[in-house]
């Protein structure tokens, strides 16, 4: 076995494929013993053999189908009785706190339980699935920034030129309700907010351009976010508030390209960026990927963004996001990792 001391035992659900397998590998190589939960016994056996050989850490396979009550009960019992488990890895995240979380990977059931007092009857179940990439990160106020991308009326207000295009995915993700939860909490925690705006259209501003991309062509034709129009004004709830930093407008998709975003973040001591706003598979993804290349820790929040089609959301968070983002969290999960607001802080939203 490994000659290096173990950092503890991590229980990872959905470990035989996809993100679960990736993060089981990452945790084992990072110094953890593992308890691997999956319903596919053949894949579980293969992963057990691979990680044991590669890392030398203690790997314990635990075949269980979390679609079934018996499988969920089996895992709950293990978590209750095995005192070596110091961390649980699920679709919602990696938790090293006393509270552990077990997820049915099909999204049919969720159980949040406390080790030592867990039973199926004591766990609360919710039908809404969570698609989360695991992370051990926390978000210190003095090193974290929230980037709100393109909070214009044309995107976020009914009657805006692009509102109907994002309406369906925004409703499906719960975008607006989640922003109403997240933004006040972030500001109350003392995390710096940056507004990352798209270029506001002006007549003639693309004249003689050699290589306009398709979205620039369409946006120019529609005069989206046009200067001097209601659509080009900030959304009253989700636009800048006192103390926010407004970054220079980006011309295409990345909030970093040809702007002062990187300089502003560095001057504020930022190491981690959280991205919300519009839209998931273009400006959010491009800004996040560019930020990763510049050395920032990148967090995506799928239910605090939208896209023109469901396929765009899928591509952004299920296909591309896991290749560059360090964390992909729901609003609910992110809120649990934010620093607590100072005593006496008033959390409010714009009237």
The sign of the CA dihedral 78, 82, 84, 88 is positive
pLDDT at position 22: 78
What is residue 23's predicted lDDT score, i.e. its pLDDT? 74
Report the C-alpha gap between 101 and 117 in whole angstroms: 13
141-337 topology per CATH: Rossmann fold (3.40.50)
Please state, rounded to an integer, the average pLDDT across all residues of the chain. Answer: 82
Q: State what percent of residues in the chain have pLDDT above 90.
A: 53
- CATH class of the 9-122 domain in this structure: alpha beta
Q: Which DSSP category does 152 fall into?
A: B
The count of other CB atoms within 10 Å of the CB of residue 309 is 14
Same-fold call for 9-122 versus 141-337: yes
pLDDT, position 101: 36
How many angstroms separate the CA atoms of 85 and 10, rounded?
6
Residues in Cβ contact with 305 at an 8 Å cutoff, skipping those fewer than 6 apart: 173, 175, 275, 276, 277, 278, 279, 280, 284, 313, 316
Q: Which residues have CB under 8 Å from 81's CB, separation 6+?
A: none
Q: Predicted confidence band at 4 (pLDDT cuts at 50, 70, 90)?
A: low
pLDDT for the residue numbered 178 = 97
Domain residue ranges of the chain, discontinuous segments joined by + = 9-122, 141-337
- Give me the residues paired with residue 33 across strands: 9
Q: Based on C-alpha coordinates, what's the Rg of the chain?
A: 22
Three-state DSSP at 94 gives: strand
pLDDT confidence bin for 203, thresholds 50/70/90: confident
Is residue 92 scored above 60 in pLDDT?
no
Over residues 231-263, the pLDDT tens digits come to 999 999 999 999 999 999 999 999 999 999 999
């Amino acid at each position: 076995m490994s000659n290096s001391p173990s950092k503890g035992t991590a229980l990872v659900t959905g470990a035989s494929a996809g993100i679960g397998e990736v993060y089981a590998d990452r945790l084992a190589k990072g110094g953890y013993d593992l308890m691997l939960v999956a319903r596919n016994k053949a894949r579980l056996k293969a992963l057990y053999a691979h990680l044991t050989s590669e890392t030398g850490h203690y790997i314990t396979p635990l075949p269980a189908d979390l679609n079934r009550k018996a499988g969920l009960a089996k895992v709950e019992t293990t978590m209750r009785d095995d005192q070596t488990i110091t961390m649980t890895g699920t679709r919602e995240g990696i938790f090293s706190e006393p509270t552990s979380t077990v997820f049915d990977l099909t999204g049919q059931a969720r159980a949040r339980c406390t080790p030592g007092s867990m039973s199926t009857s004591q766990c609360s179940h919710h039908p809404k699935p969570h698609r989360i990439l695991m992370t051990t990160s926390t978000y210190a106020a003095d090193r974290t920034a929230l980037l709100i991308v393109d909070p214009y009326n044309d995107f976020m207000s009914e009657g805006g030129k692009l509102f109907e295009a994002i309406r369906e995915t925004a409703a499906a993700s719960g975008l607006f309700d989640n922003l109403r939860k997240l933004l006040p909490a972030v500001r109350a925690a003392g995390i710096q907010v940056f507004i990352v705006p798209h270029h506001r259209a002006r007549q003639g501003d693309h004249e003689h351009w050699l290589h306009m991309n398709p979205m620039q062509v369409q946006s120019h034709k529609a005069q989206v976010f046009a200067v001097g129009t209601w659509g080009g004004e900030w959304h009253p709830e989700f636009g800048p508030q006192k103390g926010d930093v407004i970054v220079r407008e980006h011309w295409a998709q990345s909030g970093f390209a040809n702007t002062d975003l990187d300089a502003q973040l560095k001057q504020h001591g930022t190491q981690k960026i959280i991205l919300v706003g519009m839209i998931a598979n273009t400006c959010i993804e491009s800004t996040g990927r560019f930020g990763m290349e510049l050395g920032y820790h990148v967090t995506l929040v799928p239910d605090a963004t939208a896209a023109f089609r469901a396929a765009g959301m899928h591509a952004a968070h299920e296909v591309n996001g896991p290749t560059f983002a360090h964390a992909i969290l729901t609003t609910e999960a992110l809120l649990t990792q934010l620093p607590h607001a100072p005593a006496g802080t008033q959390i409010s939203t714009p009237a």
